Structure 1
Amino acid sequence: MKNNNGNTKLILLHPYIQKQAGIGTNRLWLLALVSFFTLAFLGTLIYSRDSILTSSSPPVSSAPSSSFPDKHVNNHNHQPLPATVINTLIHYTARSNYTYHMLQPDIKIVADVLRKCSVPCNFLVFGLTHETLLWKALNHNGRTVFVDENRYYAAYFEELHPEVDAYDVHYATKSSEMKELVATAKEQARNECRPVQNLLFSECKLGINDLPNHVYDVDWDVILVDGPSGEWPNHPGRMSSIFTAGVLARSKKGGNPRTHVIIHDYYREVERVCGDEFLCRENRVASTNMMGHFILERADPNTFEFCGKRDNRTSPTS
């Protein structure tokens, strides 16, 4: 290298500098190597932990055959309510100041049927009423579904009580049309209004076919008809709910072959006539002024008569 005077100078690199540069490079390689083995060790450790947890975890149970989206059902821990709790709930519900409520003897009919279920009951209720929360409570750990004519009230009730499963349905009938509708259903008993059928695909005017699909897949053990309204001629009346209850009971695929169907306000003409026509007198096991209690058997798919020729003196007992 030349200086300003044009003279050439020789610059020698000291061995110490070269040594320091070599040491820095070695340290970098060592650090990279240590980091690689550390990451490899952590990866192996995490993978081994996940494998152990997966192999030791119990298998996930399959969904029930009905595929019913009811997270409140507990079929594995059926603990019926103590009698004192049941009696207390009935006592205070029956003594409510609410104008339209069931009397204690009528509530007890439903409660006794639910109590006799050996497994959690599948309980279908037509009508959101003063007793709704009571029915939900009495069917402890069971599946309880409510069907109501008022879509806004059904949505409001579910929002107020998220544990309740409620659906709305549109009724295209009137109480004043009862005789014509019953006659037509009997005439079409071999076609659209068959006693055994999948109502989801039915065109029978008395058949309720617009509920969610999974409702039709459930084998209902108890059906309570306490809706829709039917006090006046222009009200929907309970022709459809009684007809539908009868078809659901006869069309069961599994479970208990018998279904309890209970009609409230049995003193009224629509309830009594439709009960006799579609649930049948020979299936009636008890009745009061307010309640009609029927037990229906699962029927053969080729059955085309709602009521058979059995001796009225022999009725089901359980």
Structure 2
Amino acid sequence: MQVNEKMRNRYHLGEKRWFLGLLVILGIIGASLFITTLLQTSNNTLLCSLTRTNTRTTNQLNNPTQIQLHAILHYATSHVVPQQSISEISVTLDVIKSLNRPINFLVFGLGHDSLMWTGFNPSGTTLFLEEDPKWVQTVLKDAPELRAHTVQYRTQLQEADELLKSYKSEPTCSPAKAFLRGNEKCKLALHNLPDEVYETDWDLIMIDAPRGYFAEAPGRMAAIFSMTVMARNRKGSGVTHVFLHDVDRKVEKVYAEEFLCRKNLVKGVGRLWHFEIPSLGNQNNTLDHSIASRFC
């Protein structure tokens, strides 16, 4: 009985530490947002301009503040926590803070961490891609402020080895010619995503789905390949930050090394790898053109 009690106390202590850590992180984001607003407001000297600016700023930040408060309340009162550890989450949060602006954040997987990711990016665009339409309805029922689309995958985890061998013989999968929208010939291409996904320059991409732990699951092969193609075709300046979770599994690791490339790996914490993928346009201005003919 005493042993069970000690184990129970240890569990609750660890759980409280997790919640406190998450509250601190969300608090930092909220405080930074508030301070930024004050600094912007202080630059206006005329009373009428100040009034207009305050009104406009209040309207802009009203919804983001609600999202952050919802996230804090959710994690402070729930026994269900994100799958990633605080150390892994901090890798992504550090990048968000370093960019110091609203970002475009694409996340594969809708789940217990979705309010957190949205709360980290209150004034930006955070979009979730999920394979299970019923799960989308369940999550959005409790968090209607989240934005999510359902994705249909054409792959199965048991095909991973064969797809890795055969993609090189399909021209529309090749590094120089690969594209996504409408590309039905390349099985690794996510060809039927919403237009918004294709037309947005995503600053951050988190690949933490779809499922990849049983033979008939979609696996993350197509997500890794497609996000590599998307990052390489980025139109704007800068790199695309791609975060891949569960790299302790064979498929995630092998496909990351094939497409995202070790040379682009900037940090690894726990089961999370962080890549910075430069666009082909930026590389062609500074490096040899042969880089377009290979992924790594």
Q: Give runs of ≥4 in structure 1 deviating > 6 Å.
A: 76-79
Distance 1:134 1:100, change over 3 A: closer
Q: 2:295 aligns with which of 280, 283, 306?
A: 306
- The residue that corresponds to 1:112 in the other structure is 94
Q: What displacement does 1:110 show?
A: 1.3
Asked whether the 8 Å contact 2:179–2:189 carries over to 1, the reply is no
Q: Please name the residue that 2:189 is paired with.
A: 207
Larger radius of gyration: 1
For the residues of structure 2 that align with 1:196 and 1:122, how far apart are their CA atoms?
25
TM-score (norm 2): 0.68
Q: Percent of counterpart pairs with the same letter?
A: 35
Q: Which moved more, 1:216-225 or 1:226-235?
A: 226-235
Return the match for 2:253 from 272, 296, 306.
272
Aligned alpha-carbon RMSD (Å) = 3.1
Q: Partner of 2:87: helix, strand, or coil? A: helix
Aligned counterparts of 1:252 and 1:78: Cα–Cα separation in 2: 29
Question: Runs of 5+ in structure 2 lacking a partner?
Answer: 1-56
Instruction: Find the counterpart in structure 2 of residue 134 from structure 1.
Output: 116
Task: Map 1:34-183; keep pairs closer than 5 Å.
Answer: 93=75, 97-98=79-80, 101-183=83-165
How far off its partner does 1:119 sit?
Answer: 2.4
Aligned residues: 226
**Residue of structure 2 in register with 1:296 after alignment:** 277
Give deviations 1:156-177, integer Å, cap 9, x for gaps: 3334322111001111211121
1:174-193 alpha-carbon deviations (Å, 9 max, x no partner):
112111112222333x4344
The amino acid across from 1:267 in the alignment is D
Give the SS at the match of 1:286: strand
Structure 2: how far apart are the matches of 1:233 and 1:252? 33
Cα separation, 2, equivalents of 1:197 and 1:145: 24
Distance 1:153 1:196, change over 3 A: farther
Query: Using a 3 Å threshold, how does the CA distance of structure 1 residues 144 and 233 change in structure 2: closer, same or farther?
Result: same
2:169 and 2:77 map into 1 onto residues whose CA distance is: 45
Cα distance in 1 for partners of 2:60, 2:95 equals 20
Shift of 1:289: 3.5
| 1:236-255 equivalences in 2 (<5 Å) | 236-254=218-236
Distance 1:151 1:304, change over 3 A: farther
- More off after superposition, 151-160 vs 216-225: 151-160
After superposition, the Cα gap between the structure-2 partners of 1:99 and 1:235, relative to the gap in structure 1 and judged at 3 Å, is farther
Which runs of 5 or more structure 1 residues have no equivalent in the other structure? 1-73, 308-318
- Give, as a single letter, the amino acid of the residue that structure 1 aligns with 2:112: H
Question: Does the CA-based 8 Å contact 2:111-2:139 persist in structure 1?
Answer: no
TM-aligned CA distance change 1:230 to 1:174, over 3 Å: same
> Secondary structure of the residue that 1:116 maps to in structure 2?
helix
Q: Distance in 2 between matches of 1:191 and 1:226?
A: 26
In terms of fraction of residues, the more helix-rich structure is 2
Contact 1:94 1:101 in 2 (8 A): no
Letter in 2 for 1:169: V
1:222 to 204, 222, 247: 204
